[in-house]
Amino acid sequence: MPQKSNGQTKKNLPANNITQKNDTLIYALGGLGEVGKNMYCFEHENEICIIDCGVLFPGDDLLGVDYVIPDYHHLIRMNKKRKFLVITHGHEDHIGGIPFLLQQVKIDAIYAPRFAKALIHKKLSEYKGLENTKVIEIDENSSIKTKYFSLGFFNTIHSIPDSLGVLITTPNGSIVHTGDFKFDLTPVGTNADYQKMAYIGAINPDLLLSDSTNSAIEDFSISETKVANEINDIFRKTKQRLIVATFASNVHRVAQIIEAAIKCKRKVIVFGRSMENIVDIGRKMGTIHIKNSDLLSPEDLAYTPDDKICIICTGSQGEPLAALSRIANGTHRFIHLKPGDTIIFSSNPIPGNASSVNKVIDKLFRSGATVLTKSVLNNLHTTGHASREEQKLMLHLIRPRYFMPIHGEFKMLMLHKRTAMELGMPEESIFVCANGDILILRNHEVIQSNWRYQGDDIYVDGNDISGLFTAVLKDRRILADNGLVAVVIAIDSKVNKILMKPVIVSRGFVFIKDSQSLIKEAEYIVYNSLQEKMKEKITFSEIKNCVRSTLEPFLYQKTHRNPIVIPVIINSKQTMEELAAQRKNYRKKRFENA
């Protein structure tokens, strides 16, 4: 069921805040208050239009988590409604959640631009049962018409080809969704469709949803052409081996690097699974131009002169298992650094990754390599998202009556709101929402609803879409910080008797050899507590609780650490006799080795 927003009730909210049958509902299940897992929904009667379906990559605090995806429970509950998915472009934070969505929610149709379509097919081929999913290709001239929705598209500029903005027309008014965008007057690839945006602005759309990622950055972003010129200049001047690390998802940048290498008569080799996939798809799509004769195999590296080699790899964010980190650590199978190698970081560290990136850079310098990163002295990277001045230009072109900042952390959304207010938009016409909050579009007016849908995070381990609960993550953090203590207890439940003293085994808590007295004292305390408890009939659950409540305070008092305590109950006399013999042999060997 939908939840009340901010604890408010219908009694203290105006009647027009309550959703009505013919309203168009607008809400995000991901992408608000975060950079990632973008998913925006537009619902009218028995139809739901979904824009994008992405993932969020976890930080270091989410131990063992591979992806964070939106909570799809609202869409699952609405399975009787017709749902179609529209993709604005092919980055993981916009398409990465599609396999998980399709396994839980019936989607009638998926529409995606050309490059995104190829990436989606590649992704779905890795999931059994989804490999034949039909994806309908769209471009700036396409239109989608359903019972209640009509969608048109316009070209935008981003760091990946075929990036689209969307105009959504509903029975209650029109909405513009920019997707990820920037403005670049000398772009690499297709230019933005300024005329179509201006035309959309002329018809006075009711609501704009616009990318907020770079709300804190002043002025216009650097043109991608300037980055291309900088890379070309470095390639011309460098006489040794070149290694370039960048985002695999930045297809235009990868294409520029390859083009510069070919101009300088260098052969190209690509390392990193995601980079290899992008180059392969880019060549098939005609976005990346390189002949087979200009590509090196790993075996060819040893026989190719250094000044004829260009290595393109993943790892620009210091990821431990990425190609560049393995190169820096000397563990890469094919590449071993030499003094004089030049490593180019054509990227900026994502917030939170700076420490990891700096560690990799330090190792590269120690190997004798020359490392070039983006600085005030060069233009080795530019963003794919609009800065503040570009956001102003979008607002001027679209001229919406209402505005909802999207795709950004809360501070980014608030800064985007402030930008809109600087342009004269009334504060009450701007809605800074959280995932699950509902806006009502009713007869060309936008109203904040008094309801909200569940907008939680779902943590995915591997391809398991059941999700990890917060308790699981809490246990993982405790294991990482404090370790584990297992208590093996032998009982005979028929006579309600302990067969032998408990055996305590520790992993990641204390060094057993140096903590014999602590372990023996802990075993003694648990044994005495259980003997007292088992004077009366007792359940297995009560035995476990007795062990935890006795052992946890004792261990904290002695070590100021809180390991996970796991009681293991063996209810078999024969098994315990065998265990006692093993324990005796184990202690004998430990004494001999001490």
- Residues placed in the known binding site: 64, 66, 89, 91, 93-94, 158, 180, 248-250, 381-385, 407, 461
Q: pLDDT tens across 411-445, in order?
A: 999 999 999 999 999 999 999 999 999 999 999 99
User: Which one of 211, 341, 437, 457 is the catalytic residue?
Assistant: 211
- Cα–Cα distances in Å, from 107 out to 36, 87, 139, 149, 439? 21, 13, 20, 16, 23
At residue 14, the pLDDT reads: 53
Q: Rounded CA gap, 494 and 573, in Å? A: 10
**What does pTM read for this prediction?**
0.79
User: Residues near 152 by Cβ (< 8 Å), separated by ≥ 6?
Assistant: 142, 143, 166, 167, 169
Q: What is the pLDDT of residue 539?
A: 83
Structure-token match 């993709």, residue found: 87
Clarify whether 211 is annotated catalytic.
yes
Burial annotation 156-175 (CB, 10 A radius, 16+ → b, else e) = bbbbbbbbbbbbbbbbbbbb
Q: CB of 305 within 8 A of CB of 342?
A: no
pLDDT tens digits along 124-148: 998 888 988 999 999 999 999 999 9
Order across the sheet with 242-245: list the strands: 267-271, 309-313, 242-245, 342-345, 370-372
Quick: pLDDT tens for 314-363.
Answer: 988 888 878 999 999 999 989 999 898 999 999 887 766 788 889 999 99
464-468 and 135-138 as β-strands: parallel, antiparallel, unpaired? unpaired
Q: List, as residue ranges, the binding site for substrate.
A: 248-250, 381-385
Residue 403 burial by Cβ neighbours in a 10 Å radius (0-12, 13-18, 19+): buried
Which two structure tokens, joined as six digits, stand for 327? 């190169």
Name the strand (E) or helix (H) holding 41: strand 39-44
CATH topology of domain 470-593: Ubiquitin-like (UB roll) (3.10.20)
Distance between CA atoms of residues 317 and 247, nearest Å: 8
Binding positions for Zn(2+) are 89, 91, 93-94, 158, 180, 407
CATH class of the domain defined by 224-372: alpha beta
To which CATH superfamily is domain 9-219+383-460 assigned?
Ribonuclease Z/Hydroxyacylglutathione hydrolase-like (3.60.15.10)
Q: Per-residue pLDDT tens for 161-173?
A: 999 999 999 999 9
Q: Which amino acid is at 225?
A: T
Residue ranges in the chain whose pLDDT is less than 70: 1-16, 59-64, 351-352, 376-377, 462-474, 476-477, 511-514, 572-580, 582-584, 586-594
CB 111 within 8 A of CB 86: yes
The catalytic residue among 44, 252, 385, 416 is: 385
- Domain ranges in the chain are 9-219+383-460, 224-372, 470-593
385 is catalytic: yes
Straight-line distance from the first to the last Cα atom of the chain, in angstroms, rounded to the nearest whole number: 62
pLDDT at 377: 65
| Whole-angstrom distance, CA of residue 197 vs CA of residue 156 | 10
The sign of the dihedral angle between the CA atoms of 282, 287, 291, 296 is negative
Distance CA 161, CA 287 (A): 8
E-strand stretches of 387-476: 402-406, 437-442, 445-452, 457-461, 464-468
